[in-house]
Amino acid sequence: MDSAEENLKLILAKKYPGLVVECDCTNPKTILIRGVMSSSASRWLRLKLLVPNYPHLNKFQLYVQHQLEYKCYTSHNLPVHDNWNVEDLLANLWELMPGGTIKDVIKVTSRPKSNIYEEILELHQPLDYHLQLNDSCTRIRFSRFAEMDQHFFELELPTLRLLEHSLPDCVPLATMLSKNVRCLRDALDLYQKLLEDLRPFYDTFMDIDELCHVLQPSPITTKDNSRVFPLKERVYLKVVIADPLAYQASMSLQIIGPTEEVAQLRHKLNDGLANWDTELDMHKNLLRVFDLCYFPMPDMSENHKDKGQEQDQDEHCNICFVYRLDNGQVPLVSCDNARCVLKCHAACLKEWFNTLMDGKTFLEVSFGMCPFCKAKLSTSFAALLDD
Ligand SMILES: [Zn+2]
Ligand SMILES: [Zn+2]
């Protein structure tokens, strides 16, 4: 890395701590700056800035998140000066952005009330949400939001410190509240705005939860941003949405199963991703990608009904002999030998190998062979270990 880039990193760290710079190793002139930038007025922008001829600004592409979509800006629709560099662009960005693009979620508008308990009385709106106070009036809980009735959040009074909430943990709610909220009304507004912004994220998972046999997580909560469900016999799909506020941009898909099948399906997936139809929901897109009419669902025929529950005898983990672990994991790991029917939990396999070979890297060594038949284990199962 040359000194100009080192310098840029320093500037970003000092002035824009929410932004990071990435370099393209194949092309040393190309850099990507991405992250969140805030103004002194407590407003923020999520952006990606691609500079192909760094340190020159020419041919730059700036993507700014508006609601859930990124809008692209170049020198054609942004009035930048010819002699500007990256730093100048960032310094003037707030003035250049058209008014509507700036995320106004956290714009501080209200003045703090002199007495927080006075404010609580004003916030009583039983049609929109449920409001509860504990006996000593030190905790307030908002819950049962209209149309989003599983959601809640709880604050300490009078400090407004966040105690509990129902949003995914990757949404930095505590930081947002502590930075931008001066009264209870602000906190409630922020939370309701976030619920609205997260609606597409929850809608995306709604069809998956209904029409796929979601195995993990279990139970599914409003905090979960991933799903694992069967794609076919012994093969599973793991969907992760890293940033629920930009769900289409941050979605990742992993195929988990025996090596050969995973390799074949990955080809399909790569082709399918190129033809992803943003008009359709994720469930329909995935069906198109894998050329399916539906995803496998549990067998509800007469034979299986009697056994009840999900604990089918042959579904047990062959290491710990349990079906579902306390953390919600089910046995999904099988080996490349199609005749070996044994399955186990990723966590159990890890533990098993740890006792056999201490000190060696789990992913390199442990996913070497099946503990039962010695056939190869696919490295795709590593994706299950983050859960
Ligand atoms: Zn187990
Ligand atoms: Zn095996």
236/68: higher pLDDT? 236
Helices (H) and strands (E) in the chain, counts: 10, 12
- Residues having C-beta closer than 5 Å to ion ligand 2: 335, 337, 340, 370, 372-373, 375
Q: Sorting pLDDT into bands at 50, 70 and 90, what band is 359? A: very low
Looking at all shown ligands, the one closest to residue 336's CA atom is 2
pLDDT digits (tens, 9 = 90+) for 221-250: 999 999 999 999 899 999 999 999 887 788
CA 350 / ligand 1 centre spacing (Å): 10
Element (DSSP H or E) covering residue 196 = helix 184-197
pLDDT of residue 109: 43
CA 319 / ligand 2 centre spacing (Å): 12
Position 211 pLDDT exceeds 90: yes
CA 365 / ligand 2 centre spacing (Å): 16
Position 318 pLDDT exceeds 70: yes
CA 347 / ligand 1 centre spacing (Å): 7
Lowest-pLDDT range of 71-80, 85-94, 181-190, 293-302: 293-302
Q: What mean pLDDT is predicted for residues 288-316?
A: 70
65/262: higher pLDDT? 262
CA 251 / ligand 1 centre spacing (Å): 29
Element (DSSP H or E) covering residue 90 = helix 86-96
| Mean per-residue pLDDT of the chain | 83
pLDDT of residue 108: 40
Measure Cα distances from 84 to 5, 75, 80, 248 in Å. Answer: 16, 11, 7, 32
pLDDT of residue 106: 39
Record the tokens describing residue 90, joined without a space. 């960032």
pLDDT of residue 44: 76
